Amino acid sequence: MLKELKHQEEHVRKVTQRIDEQKANWFKTPVSTDGGATAQTNSPRVSAEMAVFHHCLLPRCLLSAGDAIFAAKFGMAMHKWKVPQWSTLRYLQGVRFFVCLTPKMNKTLIK
């Protein structure tokens, strides 16, 4: 059992090191701070956290409670890892919106 623990700790260390090396490249494309056009391209852009929210969190939330918890924790891990161009506040606003909207959606679907 101690051998397995050491193996798991080594794996966590390697994954953490890889995240530290790669996180600067995750959201390299300029992201608008207001959800509008970027200064460089003058085209509409979705913020990094809203893209993650819509493409990662929402689909997993619909699968199961465990998947929803994993996805929410991943968003908070992005904050912990200090990922460039990641706004935890904007991410949490999206989560709050979803949590507030879900009961209304469920009532509509039941009717």
3-state secondary structure of 21: helix
Strand partners, 37: 44
Give the closest residue to 76 by CA, choosing from 53, 100, 108, 42.
53
Q: Is the pLDDT of residue 93 over 90?
A: no
If you write DSSP's letter for every residue of 50-82 in order, what string do you get? HHHIIIIIHHHHTT-HHHHHHHHHHHHHHHHTT
The residue assigned the tokens 């390299």 is 28
Q: What is the pLDDT of residues 25-70, one digit of tens each?
A: 888 765 555 555 444 444 445 677 878 888 888 888 788 888 888 8
Domain spans of the chain, in order of start = 46-111
The residue assigned the tokens 């619909």 is 62
- AA letter at 7: H
Q: What is the pLDDT of residues 9-23, one digit of tens each?
A: 999 999 999 999 999
Strand partners, 44: 37
